[in-house]
Structure 1
Amino acid sequence: MPEISAPAPDFTLPVTGGQTVTLSALQGTPVVLFFYPRDDTPGCTKESIGFSEHLDAFKAAGAAVYGISRDTMAKHDKFAAKHNLTVPLLSDEEGKVTEDYGVWVEKNMYGKKSMGIERATYLIDAAGNIAQIWRKVKVPGHVEEVLDAVLTL
């Protein structure tokens, strides 16, 4: 699991809109990666809408923002269209990135254990190092907290 000040694990993933994103190609720009469990669930929808609503403020601060889950691109495209999301969504179908970032964890829901994505956010500085990590994120107020952290970089 990456730690603060460590280089962020590099990746190339497909993104909504039909392109791909390579993290190392974004060097020189702060990057926010928010990992979420699944498209179109209540918490994930609220979080994605929140980042979309604040996307212009992140851009004004010079930062790029991406949501990541293991959903397919088809599901991402449907999710983005349904909720008018403007934040780009990356598909980690094979799970390598969620594992590299330590967010693929055992969960316990109503006594049943299963593997899934822990809601987490990574702020990566312009040099490509991890500046801040939020684990077990609670959605209310989170987007604003991340934006404040970007503004203090």
Structure 2
Amino acid sequence: MKLEVGDQAPDFRLKNQDDIEIGLKDLISKRIVLYFYPKDNTPGCSIEAQDFTEMLHNFAQKGVVVVGISPDSPKSHKKFIQNKELKHILLSDPDRSVASSYGVYGKKMMYGKEVFGIIRSTFVIDTDGRIQKVFYNIKAKGHAKEVLENL
């Protein structure tokens, strides 16, 4: 089930790249750009993550924290951050339960075949924990700029 603007953002508590648990309630002192991506160190995911890092200062100026979530392990996230010089939080959702609660785990087309996986999507969450903006099934290139322009 997909979330819509005005819905309460599903709560979560996941480990970050340093194996420290972070929850939605720890982040909502600011607005949050929460983006879901399929896999660390893959071309599209690298482009998206690097774009968010390059624009992190612009997001911070608008009072927004950027957080990425994928099924990869904290160890994988740490390598991804080091390899791509990322500067934002990455959270590990190994059982895809958080992705499912946000409606971003399901059937998708990949190389002409229907598969189950993470559907690249982004949510802007306000300080009350409500969804302000939804971007489902997006393209990696240029997405960070699109999100920034919609804040």
Indicate the TM-score class for this superposition, using the shorter chain for normalisation: over 0.9
Tell me the TM-score normalised to structure 1 length.
0.92
How far apart are residue 141 of structure 1 and its match? 2.2
Partner of 1:95: 96
How far apart are residue 28 of structure 1 and its match? 3.4
Partner of 1:141: 142
Contact kept in structure 1, 2:51 and 2:142, CA below 8 Å: no
Q: Determine helix, strand or coil for the equivalent of 2:52.
A: helix
Deviations 1:90-132 (A, max 9, x none): 0001111000000001123344322100110000012110000
Distance in 2, matches of 1:143 and 1:109, equals: 22
Partner of 2:73: 72
Is residue 52 of structure 2 the alignment partner of residue 42 of structure 1? Answer: no
How far apart are residue 26 of structure 1 and its match? 2.4
**Cα distance 1:59–1:110, how it changes in 2: closer, same or farther (>3 A)?**
closer
Partner of 1:126: 127
Distance in 1, matches of 2:79 and 2:32, equals: 24
Aligned residues: 150
CA RMSD of aligned residues (A): 1.3
Partner of 2:56: 55
Distance in 2, matches of 1:141 and 1:112, equals: 25
Structure 2: where are the runs of 5+ without partners? none
Contact kept in structure 1, 2:17 and 2:74, CA below 8 Å: yes
